[in-house]
Structure 1
Amino acid sequence: MMTWRHVTPDDFPLLARWLAEPHVARWWHHETSAAAVERDFGPSARGAEPNEDLLAFVDGTPIGLLQRSFLHDYPEYLDELTPLTAVPPRAMTIDYLIGDAAHVGRGLGTRMIRSALAHLWADHRDAECVIVAVHADNAPSWRALERAGLTRVAHGEIDPDNPADDRRHYVYRTDRPTD
């Protein structure tokens, strides 16, 4: 059973450890100092940022981080997506990571995305769809999206998280279930 809860400041040391893991650092390219983690996750933990940072747990053990937000709350990102694909007014996006390398390659990413989508639809009744851009070279991530039921709808250039990467991205989408 996968459960979720909002990130709190008590989780920052865990996030710093996860962000330092090579499999995470490669794609998130995030500073891991206490000050950097506070700077980047503190506003969400305090409710001062429109995105939500959630921890995913399996049998009580934290296994991953999920960020979710409405795209309209981040106009710069929205400006990069709209030339590639239509973005409805109430579109959301997610970003995610599996923290511990021991949990990678076991299907937990796909399971986490499926669970996250179920919770997103329940928590945000006005969300129309979820649109996710992922770097073209990050095959484990885009394969997890595909296994979770998202469809590749576009490809194009978006600024990468890691400046060592080129701008090639795939864009995935899933619409709110109708049943």
Structure 2
Amino acid sequence: MVKIFKQLSFIAMMIVASISVQARDRDGDGVPDDKDACPKQAGAVTNANGCPSAHADSERVLTLRFDTGKWQLTSKQIETLTEWVGYWHGHQLLVKGHTDPRGDSEQNLALSQARANSVAETLTLRLSVAPNLITVHALGESTPLPGGDDDASDAMNRRVEVVAQPIVLQLTQGD
């Protein structure tokens, strides 16, 4: 009986020890406090040390420009996208395709879709971004940048914008 009591006591101590070893995460960012360089600073984690990104909000948007009628990414654009996405790993990415106002509206919408899809495919197939983190919108000529009605303004509108957005988790309380 004493042997069984000692075994049960040992098991109980192990259970208590394992419960108390569970890491605390005071800021709720998913990084345990003992590994979190910013344990009291809540926010979307963009690096392994548990701190929110130091990058400015203005850097959350990457704009890639395209030649008339083109949707394929150049090697320079892929290099730029690769560097940018490294800063925003783990964020939701909104990929918005645009065109200039020249030509048929339906063709422009299809071209903006092809541009956005080209970027999304590069993100998933070459840069290993999870597809569920990418949302694609084709906007055609519907949202031009402010400017004139000239070649330079048209060139500015032939673009894809990739917007990094923090993932917001909705916690629900059970019944």
Structure ID, larger Rg: 2
**TM-score, reference length from structure 1:** 0.27
Q: Which has the higher contact order (CA 8 A, sep 6+)?
A: 2
Q: TM-score, normalised by structure 2?
A: 0.28
